[in-house]
Amino acid sequence: MESEEVLKAVFPLLEGVDLASCMAVCKQWNDIAKDDFFWKCMCANRWPSICKRPNPLTETYYKLYKTFHKRQQRRTLLPPRISFDDLEFFIDIWAEDILLFSEAVSGSVLQSGFRSPASGVCDLLKYHLESSEYKMTFPVEPRFTIPSGQNQNVSVSVMVGRKDTNKVACIINKSMFDYIERSSYRALAYDYLDISPGYPFLPGIRAWISLLFMEEGSEDLMDVFGIQMDFCDVANSKEEVLWLLDMLDWK
Amino acid sequence: MASSLGVGSSHSHSSSGEIHLFVGPMFAGKTTSLLRRIKSEVDNGRNVAMLKSSKDNRYAVDSVVTHDGIKFPCWALPDLMLFKDKYGHEAYQKLDVIGIDEAQFFEDLYDFCCKAADEDGKIVVVAGLDGDYMRRSFGSVLHIIPIADTVTKLTARCELCGKRAFFTLRKTGEKQTELIGGADLYMPVCRHHYVNGQVVVEAAMKSVFGSQKVGCGSLIETAPVV
């Protein structure tokens, strides 16, 4: 019996992983083992119903088996379809009816971030700003103050525009800065994102915005030197953020 | 009078009830999520009533207020089982949805949810703390997980590093049985900063100002000392 015939008799008895290993032994074994008949046998053992049709669902049974024989590992994200250069963020902050801050911030500015001021920033906040973790921040120039009294309603709205399609989406719709962290000198607001109807099964995803303020301030006023935005419920890298923004309900 | 706090049209409830649970640490937005759900039910023409505990009466006792200032009328009760009598049996029959805020304070939460969903066919939406500042089960909230259709654990932001916070840490060294307070006494923290809690507490106590809430104070919750 020639070695080729021996291999053809043995290969159908192997598991798929072992047959794949045989393909790496030498050219002769590879030529025999890549015969789709063997892989049809593998698929017939695993998914008998698929092999009832005359032709494989994919180009070859080998491709079908290779693709689906084990659970897919979490794949790396494909490159986002938009970039920060395409985006512009419109941020308005109000105390009651008084406009405190109103600015259009380009995506590239938000993306590039900033270093914290040399002095006057608490250690916790400085450590956070200078850490290597991904964050979207920009400096506030000139700085503004917000009242910290119990009866003051400080709210924020954030819209985002796309230069590539001339469309706009809402990120935060008049939410209150209702939680002030005096140990890390931040005021936080959030809102739930309006995701495109094209993604109907996504759960509530929040956008967060933080006002970063100086350590030495009066008890009544907080001196804001920077603003941070994030989507930490689901997106913690540049690519994830861009994918999330792409999924907004653009109008 | 009794039915004035039911919001929505008179719309007969579905034959089978549902229970939906929102849990998480303080300042995670549980009340906001509850009210978003309740508001969507009202928009769908359902008849809704909101309940909350009468134990914490520092803020408006007849309404629940969310972080963006939306108010929703509610019943403040010491026990949930009193609701049917106070609301009126006829009005109760017409109810489709019952929202429960600060659920950790209701000892009869399990019995009420069972009866409302299983027997009366109501949709019950519950929001409450799942754990106290020691990360131990708080009240009856966790008891209703086996009977819930959905359970959503919300996260806050760690006050020390800004990452997702799953736990509530007490800033003070108080040891009394129940310490009612908000951001002045408690902070949301991530696992790392909870484990290093003593360092955090000391840092917070040295802080020039205590943390404080601005705007509407309704999100201020309470966490017990057990």
Confidence of residue B6 (pLDDT cuts 50, 70, 90): low
Enumerate the residues of chain B whose CB falls inside 8 A of the CB of residue A123.
Answer: none
CATH architecture under which domain B157-224 falls:
2-Layer Sandwich (3.30)
Which of B155, B213, B217 shows the shortest C-beta gap to A233? Answer: B155
For chain A, what is the total number of helices (H) and then of strands (E)? 8, 9
For residues B16-29, one letter each, b for 16 or more C-beta atoms within 10 angstroms of the residue's C-beta and e for the rest, the string is: ebbbbbbbbbbbbb
pLDDT band at B208 (very low <50, low <70, confident <90, very high): very low
Annotated active-site residue in B18, B41, B102, B159: B102
pLDDT of residue B202: 55
Question: What's the confidence (pLDDT) of residue A183?
Answer: 75
| Residues in chain A within 8 Å Cβ distance of B127 | none
CA torsion, ordered B140, B39, A234, B149, to nearest 10 deg: 40
pLDDT in tens, B117-176: 999 999 999 999 998 887 878 888 998 999 999 999 999 988 888 888 989 887 766 654
Q: Is B68 on the interface with A (CB under 8 A)?
A: yes
- What span, in angstroms and rounded, lies between the C-alpha atoms of A128 and A133? 8
Residue A74, pLDDT score? 56
Helix (H, G, I), strand (E, B) or coil at A169: strand
**Radius of gyration of the CA atoms of chain B, in A:** 18
The domains of chain A are located at 3-68, 84-246
Q: Which of B155, B212, B219 sits opposite A180 (nearest CB)?
A: B212
CA A173 to chain centre: 21
Question: Looking at this protein, which amino acid is placed at residue B53?
Answer: S
Q: Give backbone dihedrals phi and psi of A233, rounded to 5 degrees, phi first.
A: -60, -35
Residue A226 CA to residue B31 CA, distance in Å, equals 29
Residue of A nearest to B213 (CA): A179
CB contact under 8 A, B162 and A154: no
Compute the mean pLDDT over every residue in chain B, rounded to the nearest whole number: 76
Question: What is the C-alpha to C-alpha distance for residues A219 and A234, in angstroms, rounded to an integer?
Answer: 35
Contacts of A219 in chain B (CB under 8 A): 209
In the prediction, which pLDDT does A226 show?
93
- Is B186 annotated in some ligand binding site? yes
* pLDDT score recorded for residue B191: 87
Q: Tell whether the model's pLDDT for residue B4 goes beyond 80.
A: no
Condensed to tens digits (0 to 9), the pLDDT of residues B49-103 reads 989 888 655 445 567 766 456 667 888 888 898 898 888 988 998 899 999 998 9
- Residue A195 main-chain phi, psi, to 5 deg: -90, 145
Tens of pLDDT along chain A (251 residues) come to: 567 778 888 888 887 888 888 888 888 888 888 788 888 888 888 788 877 777 777 778 888 887 887 656 655 778 998 899 999 999 999 887 889 899 899 999 988 888 677 778 888 787 778 788 788 999 987 888 877 654 457 899 999 999 888 899 999 987 888 777 767 787 889 898 989 999 988 778 989 999 998 876 666 677 899 999 989 888 989 889 999 999 999 98
CATH annotation of B2-154: 3.40.50.300
Q: What pLDDT is stored for residue A91 in this prediction?
A: 95
**Is there a contact between A136 and A230 (Cβ–Cβ < 8 Å)?**
yes
* B197 Cβ under 8 Å from any chain A Cβ: no
| pLDDT (0 to 100) of residue A111 | 80
| Cα dist from B47 to A25, A201, B6, B14, B119, whole Å | 71, 26, 6, 12, 18
Amino acid at B47: N
Alpha-carbon span A247 to A203, nearest angstrom: 13
Give the residue carrying structure tokens 């900033």. A114
Centre a 10 Å sphere on the Cβ of residue A3 and count the other Cβ atoms it contains. 10
B221 carries an active-site annotation: no
Q: What share of chain A is helix, strand, coil (3-state, %, to 5)?
A: 30, 30, 40
Peptide bond into A142 cis (omega under 30): yes
Dihedral Cα B121, B127, B131, B133, nearest 10 deg = -160
Give the torsion sign (CA, A132, A138, A144, A146): negative
Q: Which two tokens stand for residue A39?
A: 């892989």
Cβ separation B213–A150 shorter than 8 A: yes
Residue intervals in chain B for CATH 3.30.60.20? 157-224
Q: Which pLDDT belongs to residue B68?
A: 53
Contact (CB, 8 A) for B153 and B24: yes
B161 touches chain A (CB under 8 A): yes
Q: Residue A184 is nearest to which of B67, B152, B160, comparing CB atoms? A: B160
What local confidence, expressed as pLDDT, does residue B92 receive?
93
Say which residue, B14 or B28, is predicted with more confidence: B28
Residue that wins the pLDDT comparison between A184 and B224:
A184
CB contact under 8 A, B68 and A186: no
